[in-house]
Amino acid sequence: MADEPLVLGIETSCDETGVGIVRGHTLLADAVASSVDEHARFGGVVPEVASRAHLEAMVPTIQRALKEAGVSAKDLDGIAVTAGPGLAGALLVGVSAAKAYAYALGKPLYGVNHLASHICVDQLEHGALPEPTMALLVSGGHSSLLLAPDITSDVRPLGSTIDDAAGEAFDKVARV
């Protein structure tokens, strides 16, 4: 297991700063900083508020994940980061932080498709995905049907919601 790559992942596509550390397919740490309370008074996610919250939460969340995993930044073999889709400003904060860590540590940087990540995380629990894979994503901000002949390089949208996603509808009903 020690010969498997140790990767820090950063996710900032919307309103939560997520940091995970994996060794191979084993999740060692999962740290999240939520800005949901900051958005509550507006009735939904405000992109500028989300970006500022990511900026403030980034370093403490990474430090918490490193501590939880029992590793230091110099032990990392690579940095992965959500490169899209998502809120432009929020993604910019995450990508900038990931670039800074990768540069400072002399480690490779990997941009990750947010939607493909939703599919790939299943591998942590159930092993390799069949090829091709078809997935229905029902999340807070999007509902999509995707075909992934190769999850690392070829994810094709087959359909998606035009307006509110199912998760957003649940959120709105819950508020009422």
Domain boundaries, the chain: 6-127, 129-176
Instruction: Please choose, from the candidates 116, 110, 114, 120, the residue with its C-alpha nearest in 3D space to the C-alpha of residue 155.
Output: 116
Q: Report the run of H or E that residue 62 belongs to, with start and end.
A: helix 47-69
The pLDDT of residue 36 is: 80
Q: For the chain, how many residues are written?
A: 176
The pLDDT of residue 77 is: 98
- In this structure, are residues 25 and 19 in contact, taking their beta carbons and an 8 Å threshold? no
From the first residue on, what is the mean pLDDT of each consecutive set of 10 residues in the chain (176 residues)?
Answer: 90 94 93 87 86 96 98 98 93 98 98 88 84 84 84 88 68 71
Using N-to-C axis directions, what is the helix angle for 88-105 and 47-69, rounded to 10°?
A: 30
The pLDDT of residue 158 is: 93
CA distance 127 to 155: 19
CATH of domain 6-127: 3.30.420.40
The pLDDT of residue 166 is: 67
The pLDDT of residue 167 is: 64
- In this structure, are residues 54 and 90 in contact, taking their beta carbons and an 8 Å threshold? yes
Could you tell me the pTM of the whole model? 0.86
CA distance 152 to 74: 26
Sign of CA dihedral 175, 143, 35, 28: positive
